[in-house]
Amino acid sequence: MNNIKSEKIYSEAVKYIPGGVNSPVRAFKSVGLNPIFIDKAHGSKIYDVDGNEYIDYICSWGPLILGHSNEDVLKGVEDALRKGTSYGVPTQIEVEVAKLIVQAYPSVEMVRMVNSGTEATMSALRVARAYTKRSKILKFEGCYHGHSDSLLVKSGSGALTYGVPTSPGVPEDVVKDTLVCPYNDLKSVEDIFKKQGSDIAAVILEPVAANMGVVAPKKEFLEGLRRITKEYGSILIFDEVITGFRLAFGGAQEYYNIEPDMTCFGKIIGGGLPVGAYGGKREIMNMVSPIGPVYQAGTLSGNPLAMYMGHRMLTILKNNREIYNDLEIKAEKLEKGIMDNLSKLGIAGTVNRVGSLVCMFLGEGPVDNYDDVKRCDVENFNIYFKELLQRGILVAPTQFEAMFLSTAHTDDDIEYTIKSNYEALKIAFN
C-alpha cells in the first residue's frame, strides 16, 4: 500500500494544525501510524489521496447511515447551495426539519437547532439547570457528550465523589457540580440520589454507550433512571447524537420504549453537514430565549444547507423504514462472523452490538461498563488495525469506538470484512 501523498500532506499538516488533525480521533497516533488523507468517498467505499480504496466503517463517526455521497440525499443540493448558504434570518426548511424530529420523538414537543452535538448537550444542560433551579448534573463513566467543560469529566475514586477534570484547562470549579456513576450501575445512582437527589438538575447519558466501544444498557438500568429522575424531579436527558434516527427512526427511546424529558441530536439529522439539536417537553423548552430567559444562540444554527441535507436524509429514513431491518440483518451477520472468527482462533474476545453499532472487544467479556472496557487488549488491536487497513478496511483507529454500518455496505463488503478480520486477528495473535 502506497501512502506517499498522505505522508507528504501530513508533514505539512503538523506545521499548521495541532497533531495535523482537526479532531483527535482522526489521528492514527493510538495505533502508531500517521493518518491517511481522504480524497473522496462513495457508498461504502472511501478513497485516500494515494488512490487506496477502503470499505469504510467510520462513516464520519455516524452521520452517514445511507453511505457516502448518497445520490438521494444529495439530490437538489446544488440548487439549495446557489440560493444562498446562510441568511441569519429564518427559513421554512428549519421548520420542516423540526417537524420531522417532533413527529418521530413523542418526548420532543419543541426542538432548537445548533451546530454540533457538543452544543446540543451543553445547551440542554443549561436549560435543565434553569428549569429545575438546581446545579448538579449526573453523567456516566465512559459516556461522551462532546467537549464542553462541565461534561469533560470521568469518574474519580468513586461514584459518590465529585468529578475531576479529564482535561487540563477545565477548572475544578466548573466540574464540581458534575457527578459521575459507572454505566449500567443503578445502585450507585440510587445511592447518589439518596444523598444529593434534590440538588441534581439532570441525568445525562448515551442510551447506548457508543463512545467506549459499544456498551448496551441493561433494560432495568434505563427503566431505573426514568423512575429515579421522576421521583426526584430531575430531568432525564438522552444524548441521542449517535443513536438518534440510527437504532430506529425514533432512536433509542423508541427502541427501548423509554421516554426521556429532553433529547440531544446531531450527526444523522444534518445528512453529513455540521448540525446538532436539543429538544424536549414544551414546558421545558419554553425556558429558551426568546420566549424564556435561558440564552442560547448561533450564527449558523439551522443553516439552510445543513437543514436541506438533514431534511432529505430524515425524509428518506421516514419513508423507508425497512432500512432498519436491513441494517439489523447486515450487522448481525458481521457480529456473528467476527464471533465465529474469535472462537475458531481461540482468542478471548467478544462483540457488542446494538442495531447497526458493532464493536469487537479483545479480552474477556462481558463488557458492560468502562472498567470492563479498560481491561481490553490494546497492543494486539493495534496490529489488527494495521492488518485490516492493508486489506482495504478502515475501522476506527482504536478499540473504543463503534463500527458504523450503513445501507451502502453490501453483503460482499461484510463477507470480505469477516474474511479479513480472521486473517488480521490470526496475525495479531500469532
Q: Which residues are catalytic?
A: 144, 239, 267
**CB closer to ligand PLP, 118 vs 301:** 118
CB of 10 to ligand PLP, least distance (A): 22
CB of 148 to ligand PLP, least distance (A): 9
Q: Which residues in 213-371 belong to E strands, given as ranges?
A: 235-239, 262-266, 276-280, 349-354, 357-362
Q: Which residue reads 455540521 in cell numbers? A: 274
**CB closer to ligand PLP, 116 vs 132:** 116
**CB closer to ligand PLP, 23 vs 325:** 23
3-state secondary structure of 118: helix
**CB closer to ligand PLP, 41 vs 268:** 268
Please tell me whether residue 248 binds ligand PLP under the rule CB under 6 A.
no
**Site for ligand PLP (CB under 6 A): which residue of 110, 122, 201, 242?**
242
**Site for ligand PLP (CB under 6 A): which residue of 54, 144, 278, 400?**
144
The answer to whether residues 66 and 316 touch, using CB atoms and an 8 Å cutoff, is yes
Distance CA 26, CA 3 (A): 16
Distance CA 419, CA 231 (A): 50
Please tell me whether residue 370 binds ligand PLP under the rule CB under 6 A.
no
The amino acid sitting at 99 is K
CB of 158 to ligand PLP, least distance (A): 24
Per DSSP, the residues of 18-68 read: GGG-SSGGGS-GGGT-PPP-EEEEEBTEEEETT--EEEES-GGGTT-TT-B
**Site for ligand PLP (CB under 6 A): which residue of 177, 239, 387, 413?**
239
Which window, 40-48, 129-137, 159-167, 238-246, contacts ligand PLP (CB under 6 A)?
238-246
**Site for ligand PLP (CB under 6 A): which residue of 57, 61, 221, 255?**
61
Mark 77-116 with x for binding to ligand PLP (rule: CB under 6 A) and - for no binding: ---------------------------------------x
The answer to whether residues 247 and 354 touch, using CB atoms and an 8 Å cutoff, is yes
Buried b (16+ CB within 10 A) or exposed e, 256-291: bebbbbbbbbbbbbbbbbbbbbbbbbeebbebbeee
**Site for ligand PLP (CB under 6 A): which residue of 52, 121, 155, 369?**
121
Please tell me whether residue 266 binds ligand PLP under the rule CB under 6 A.
yes
Which window, 34-42, 236-244, 281-289, 318-326, contacts ligand PLP (CB under 6 A)?
236-244
Interface size with ligand PLP, residues (CB under 6 A): 15
**Site for ligand PLP (CB under 6 A): which residue of 132, 188, 211, 399?**
211
Angle between helices 92-104 and 304-319 (to 10 degrees): 40
The set of cell numbers assigned to 165 is: 477534570
**CB closer to ligand PLP, 148 vs 155:** 148
Please tell me whether residue 206 binds ligand PLP under the rule CB under 6 A.
yes
Strand partners, 200: 136
Cis peptide before 290 (omega within 30 of 0): yes
Which parts of 269-288 interact with ligand PLP (CB under 6 A)?
276
Please tell me whether residue 148 binds ligand PLP under the rule CB under 6 A.
no
Per DSSP, the residues of 157-222 read: SSTTSBPEESSTTS-HHHHTTEEEE-TT-HHHHHHHHHHHGGGEEEEEE-SSB-SSS-BPPPHHHH
Contact set with ligand PLP (CB under 6 A): 61, 116-118, 121, 144-146, 206, 211, 239, 241-242, 266, 276
